[in-house]
A and B are shown apart, each in its own frame.
Chain A
Amino acid sequence: MTKVVIGIVVGAILGVFDGMVALLTPEAGNIWDIVPWSSLKGLIVGLIVGFYARKVSNLRGGVILGLVAGAIFALLVVLGNIAGGLPPYWIEIMLPGTIVGGIVGYATQQYGKGATA
């Protein structure tokens, strides 16, 4: 697997999982609205850090970029909730989103074939 594919797969899996956790919070809304967006968020973060890992071999840089990208996309979701009149779920969305970004950043630096592999 290439680094980009690793990023997409890990990001998407963790994104789906994050979305599924909403099952535990019925008041969060319709699961079928949450899971696609959550997995898309993970997938895009994975794509970004995957391309970064293909160009740059730097574990710390990859993890930090993942954390930042994860946080930014999680923030977009929170802002979307606020705009849609939903509870923002700051911690519930921001914290896992950021950690998922860090994990995907680590995965793309450590695994997969790429220009820097």
Chain B
Amino acid sequence: MTQLSDRALSRLQSIVDVPDFEGTRYRILSKIAEGGMGTVFRAHDSSLDREVALKVMDDSLQETQFAERMQQEAQVIARLEHPGIVPIHDVGILPDGRMFYAMKLVQGERLDVFCQTARALPERLRLFQKICEAVAFAHAQNIIHRDLKPANIMVGAFGEVLVMDWGLAKILGEEKASETRMAMPEPGAAFQDKTDGGSGLATQVGAVLGTPDYMAPEQARGENNRLDQRADVYALGAILQFVLTGSHPFQKIESQAKDKAPKRLQAIIRHAMAEPREQRYANASELAADIERFLNDETVTAYRDNPFDKIWRWLLRYKFLIFIVLIYMIVRVLLFYLMR
């Protein structure tokens, strides 16, 4: 008997892992990403003649609770019809029994890649506002994301923003049901430290889900039953810091770049990332509103202006008008003397 090489075995494994879409409207084109629970493929939808992204559950998980959970993840995304949230088109079971769902194929860059290019501060902040708006929409539906990070946000060619990976989402007010149903490991860098010692599938009190750099302290402590919108606000604060400095919240290089950020923005980050959640913005809308105030040179709720700051900002906001008025006054007086 001939022994297969590791390379050949790996190749065979990859062939076996390719889902069987025979008899469906989808034809696999390429693999986009692979994660702990499933694989995302680029595929062609023959019915609608368009490309879509297909998330297919791993073969090894089809007998587990993940199938039901993945369907519920799809249902949560379907509830979130918003331009900033990737839409879902279809959900089903493959002939080989694997669960899949089809979603919009997002063309663009991940936020962390996007931010590597030098961009003006207002452009970055407008982008961040769009992220907040998408998350605020989910918050209004009583859904929290729990794994917001730059890698889970896509920026399209026309500046559109899509919040992805709702695999760790939690429906507030349905504590037990949603925890068991919704919380699951998501493909990617999601951090999972199961402390329940049980099946390892059901998220229970004490299980830590999320990405450490972007995780609210209460989430890191595994207090999943206490999580609310403010956990996402914390992550948004960390994303804001990333958008401004290009570094993750706990990277050492951030301190210098962070200091260069305007004081009021630093205050907004601090407010969003406050350790006691009571001191954070109540939800993503409030955070977005403070960013809007910053962009309009208005007083932000996170920073107490001193009178000089206020006057200086007022002068900056109306500088061109002040310039015109002063020029008018000077010319007026000069002309008066010249015409005498």
Question: Do A and B come together as binding partners?
Answer: yes
Q: Which of A60-117 contact B (CB under 8 A)?
A: 96, 99-100, 103, 106-107, 110-111
| B329: A residues at CB distance < 8 A | 17
- Is A59's CB within 8 Å of the partner chain B? no
- Is B250's CB within 8 Å of the partner chain A? no
**How near does chain B come to A25, taking the closest CB pair, in angstroms?**
8
- Is B318's CB within 8 Å of the partner chain A? yes
Q: Complex: how many Å from CA A21 to CA B328? A: 12
| B158: A residues at CB distance < 8 A | none
**How near does chain B come to A111, taking the closest CB pair, in angstroms?**
6
Q: Are B321 and A99 in contact, with the CB atoms below 8 A?
A: no
Q: Which of B321, B328, B332, B336 contacts A111 (CB 8 A)?
A: B321
Q: Are B325 and A14 in contact, with the CB atoms below 8 A?
A: yes
| B320: A residues at CB distance < 8 A | 110
Q: Are A107 and B321 in contact, with the CB atoms below 8 A?
A: yes
Q: Are B321 and A21 in contact, with the CB atoms below 8 A?
A: no
**How near does chain A come to B285, taking the closest CB pair, in angstroms?**
19
Q: Are A103 and B336 in contact, with the CB atoms below 8 A?
A: no
Q: Which of A34-74 contact B (CB under 8 A)?
A: none
- Is A8's CB within 8 Å of the partner chain B? no
Q: Are B325 and A13 in contact, with the CB atoms below 8 A?
A: yes
Dominant SS at the B interface?
A: helix
Q: Are A110 and B328 in contact, with the CB atoms below 8 A?
A: no
| B328: A residues at CB distance < 8 A | 14, 99-100, 103
Q: Complex: how many Å from CA A17 to CA B325? A: 10
Q: Which of A21, A24, A103, A110 contacts B325 (CB 8 A)?
A: A103
| A21: B residues at CB distance < 8 A | 332-333, 336
- Is A10's CB within 8 Å of the partner chain B? yes
Additional pairs, 13, CB under 8 Å, beyond known A24-B336, A110-B321? A10-B325, A17-B329, A17-B332, A18-B332, A21-B333, A21-B336, A24-B333, A99-B328, A106-B321, A110-B320, A111-B317, A111-B318, A111-B321
Tell me the A residues contacting B by CB distance below 8 Å: 10, 13-14, 17-18, 21, 24-25, 96, 99-100, 103, 106-107, 110-111
9 contacts between A and B (CB under 8 A): A10-B321, A10-B325, A13-B325, A17-B329, A21-B332, A21-B336, A100-B328, A107-B321, A110-B321
**How near does chain B come to A31, taking the closest CB pair, in angstroms?**
15
Interface size class of B (residues with CB under 8 A): 10 to 19
Q: Which of B241-258 contact A (CB under 8 A)?
A: none
Dominant SS at the A interface?
A: helix
| B16: A residues at CB distance < 8 A | none
| B324: A residues at CB distance < 8 A | 103, 106
**How near does chain A come to B324, taking the closest CB pair, in angstroms?**
6
Closest to B336 in A: A24
| A18: B residues at CB distance < 8 A | 332
Q: Complex: how many Å from CA A14 to CA B332? A: 11
Q: Which of B309-332 contact A (CB under 8 A)?
A: 317-318, 320-321, 324-325, 328-329, 332
| B321: A residues at CB distance < 8 A | 10, 106-107, 110-111
Closest to A113 in B: B296
Q: Complex: how many Å from CA A79 to CA B336? A: 22
**How near does chain A come to B105, taking the closest CB pair, in angstroms?**
37
Q: Sorted from nearest, which 10 A-B pairs have the closest CB atoms? A: A107-B321, A24-B336, A17-B329, A103-B324, A96-B332, A111-B321, A103-B328, A21-B332, A111-B318, A21-B336
Q: Complex: how many Å from CA A81 to CA B321? A: 31
| B317: A residues at CB distance < 8 A | 111
**How near does chain A come to B297, taking the closest CB pair, in angstroms?**
11
Q: Complex: how many Å from CA A111 to CA B322? A: 12
**How near does chain A come to B68, taking the closest CB pair, in angstroms?**
49
**How near does chain B come to A8, taking the closest CB pair, in angstroms?**
14
Q: Complex: how many Å from CA A18 to CA B333? A: 10
Q: Complex: how many Å from CA A10 to CA B332? A: 16
